[in-house]
Structure 1
Amino acid sequence: VPNALTAARVAAIPVLVATFYNRRSSPWLPASIFTACAATDFLDGYLARRWAVHSDLGAFLDPVADKLLVCSCLVLLAGALGAAVAVPTAVIVCREVTISALREWMGARGHSAAVAVGWWGKLKTATQMVALLLLLLACPGKLTALQPW
């Protein structure tokens, strides 16, 4: 079940993108999809720990799903809000990719404990999720760089 929740989070990203660009959708729709995705991020980890069903696939896929969700929303917002958001978006996306690559590289060398996700990382992800939700709600109809469908 936890891996299915993570996979559902990844599968929901294209739907979130489509609803963001669809002028006929309420701004609450992409925000609701994002909220559901953020909730599955908490729920999949909670269930995996509670049911003791840790898997290597889940340990790999969960942070990847988080990065895909966060980076997708950052790119959406950068496209909608223009140049002022582009630089912070690039910095955050580069940081996320670098940390993910570092985790994989260290893990391949048997040092995964040295780069394991800690409470600061969880706090950062939670803060990103809340900030992105607020930005998604504040951003409807402000598409500047891309044309909606």
Structure 2
Amino acid sequence: MMNIANQLTILRMVLIPVFMFFLLGDMPNGRWIAAGIFIFASLTDFVDGYLARRLNLITNFGKFMDPLADKLLVTAALLCFVQLGEVSAWIVMIIIAREFIVSIFRAIAASEGIVIAASWWGKVKTNVQMIAIILILFNNWPFEAMGWPVADLLMILAAGLTLISGYDYIYKNRAALK
């Protein structure tokens, strides 16, 4: 039987196409529903990690699938934004490329029996990405009335943090490549 932490990870993955359906579909309030789904799915990431640590439910499945679910959720949102013309493709490419590189690097390390923990930079990057995505989903509310491009600036910051965290991740764990 699968534990509650892993069930939340699977739920996050199941919510991805539902989120995309509402964001890309032409329906009343679809964007607001998509925003609610994204926020809920993002919160399941926090809850499943908390439960796994608190209740000692850490599994190999969770170690692999939890970060994958996060990457898929963020990638889905960013790809939708590119399709809608709301985020530049170059920003999305930086983020996706980093995720591929780090995932491959992590797989190489794992094949050598090395477990690489998430870094502080990676956590900051993820939080900035999530906040930027939520602001974009809400059309930069409440900042749009003042003409402040906060969501756009956060996406550029997220791209910068993505590069920094990717470099930091590989540099600190470069011994795994030898």
Q: Same fold (TM over 0.5)?
A: yes
CA distance in structure 1 between the partners assigned to 2:137 and 2:41 by the alignment: 14
Instruction: Pick one of 76, 81, 84 that aligns with 2:80.
Output: 76
CA distance in structure 2 between the partners assigned to 1:20 and 1:33 by the alignment: 10
Higher RCO, 1 or 2 (CA under 8 Å, sep at least 6)? Answer: 1
1:123 is the counterpart of 2:127: no
Counterpart residue identity of residue 80, structure 2: L
Q: What is the TM-score of this pair, normalised by structure 2?
A: 0.73
Instruction: Pick one of 60, 64, 70 that aligns with 2:68.
Output: 64
CA distance in structure 1 between the partners assigned to 2:33 and 2:55 by the alignment: 32
After the TM superposition, which segments of 4 or more aligned residues of structure 1 sit over 3 Å from their partners? Answer: none
CA distance in structure 1 between the partners assigned to 2:119 and 2:102 by the alignment: 13
**Which residue does the alignment assign to 1:42?**
46
CA distance in structure 2 between the partners assigned to 1:101 and 1:122 by the alignment: 18
1:98 is the counterpart of 2:92: no
Distance 1:105 1:25, change over 3 A: farther
Instruction: Pick one of 2, 6, 9 that aligns with 2:5.
Output: 2
Tell me the CA shift for residue 22 of structure 1.
Answer: 1.7
Matched residue SS, 2:84: helix
Q: Cα RMSD (Å) of the superposition?
A: 1.4
Tell me the CA shift for residue 25 of structure 1.
Answer: 3.6
Q: What is the TM-score of this pair, normalised by structure 1?
A: 0.86
Q: Which moved more, 1:130-139 or 1:89-98?
A: 130-139
Larger Rg: 2
Structure 2: segments with no counterpart, 5+ residues: 141-178
Tell me the CA shift for residue 85 of structure 1.
Answer: 0.7
Matched ranges for 1:109-148 at <5 A: 109-112=112-115, 115-138=116-139
CA distance in structure 2 between the partners assigned to 1:121 and 1:133 by the alignment: 18
Tell me the CA shift for residue 105 of structure 1.
Answer: 1.2
Q: Deviations over 1:45-95 (max 9, x none)?
A: 00001101110100110000000001111100011116x611111111111
Would you say how many aligned residue pairs link Structure 1 and Structure 2? 136
CA distance in structure 2 between the partners assigned to 1:132 and 1:21 by the alignment: 15
